[in-house]
Structure 1
Amino acid sequence: MSQVPKFGFSAFLKLINANPNPQKRLVRDRFRPSTGGYDFHKSLRQRVQRIAFENLAFEDALASTADIGKKAERESAIKGLRQFSQWRQQNPGSLSACDGFLFSSPKGLFKVEFTPNFLIELNGRRTAVHLWNTRQTLSAGLVNASLWMVANRHPLNGRPDDFAVLSLQDGRLFRWSDANKETAAYGERLLEVLDLDFANARLEFGLPGVVEGDAPEIPTL
């Protein structure tokens, strides 16, 4: 049973975009024993990485999806690759690798890891881009708030100029630079609400309310 749940960024986006009851269930699920879930989107990420950093041709990446055994996963990868190809035609800048960033909630009750799939210059800004390929509809306000959480906690030294989420479902690009101070305040309130949900879940599972040794930095808005 995990003492401090950690979310990948797509899982965190799924959490905050869920309705209240499913959201609370997703929080409680983080404290239940797990054997490790199947990574449905790994095949797509691997092909995007090879396109970005190993010069794999899009046609070859698309052809290789025939090796994906599960039909739903194969179709999702094909759709995602085609959307990524369309986006690259409009944004042909060079791609490079970019380190991820892990941050804690205000009370240290959960952690979120922003893992960029690549870094690209967009409108003169070095932008760290995370790919989203889940069917769940994204709220622009929630995504921008989550990107502000990342940017506001990332050390200034080595920080990209911008952070973004590219939806391979519909081609939308959500950017931190499109957010504002109201979005930042919204994001901080959201973290406080989630901390309360995690505190309640810890109580339900008989875990201590405060995690020793975890003192997250408080960002300035």
Structure 2
Amino acid sequence: MFAAAFPEVGIGLLGVSFAFGLTVLTMAYSIGHISGCHLNPAVTIGLWAGGRFPTKDILPYLIAQIVGAIIAAGALYLIASGKADYDLGVKGLAANGFGAASPGGYSLASGIAIEIILTFGFLMIILGSTDTRAPAGFAPIAIGLGLTLIHLISIPITNTSVNPARSTGPALIQGGVALQQLWMFWMAPLIGGVLGGFAYRWLAAEETVVKPAITGEPTGRVSRKAH
């Protein structure tokens, strides 16, 4: 937020996208072995749908994610307000939005579509790269670069959510349209997350196939089980 449009050397859309991606990449290596690095309610729900997360742990994780997002947004506002010409009503906190609140003026339908599609894709990346059959140790890189790509695609449309907690923090502090439109940034990512979880679970499910007869080898069945 601070560096995006800094005079003459602003990092722009590309830099902001990498900032989000690198944040997840580094956090995944830092705390992934402790909590799984769930920073996103849509990821938690998607992993549950994919059979990778227990139902009993969903609520505590969601609470922690939302509280963390609110604290982060508060810290962001505290720092931003230290600039003499900063106006929360004018410059906001990089909140998500559609319609008039969309950076590119995209409609509600466009916002719902992009948030569902990209969250779906994000869950496929997460579930695929953390599968026991995937190369070990590289999941944070794939996930971080995946989130970078997601931001490169959707910042002009919704300012990129794919994370209800990320949307909630700024909306609660900024209020107004950001808070009024928050419902969509819960609904769409959660739908995308659930669809992604179920889709990967189906792709990786136990599969029984007929093994063709070869000379000296009887016809049989082999199975591939999900991990």
Return the TM-score normalized by structure 2.
Answer: 0.25
Which structure is higher in strand share?
Answer: 1
Structure ranking higher on relative contact order (CA contacts 8 Å, 6+ apart): 2
Which structure is higher in helix share?
Answer: 2
- Higher alpha-carbon Rg: 2
Return the TM-score normalized by structure 1.
Answer: 0.26
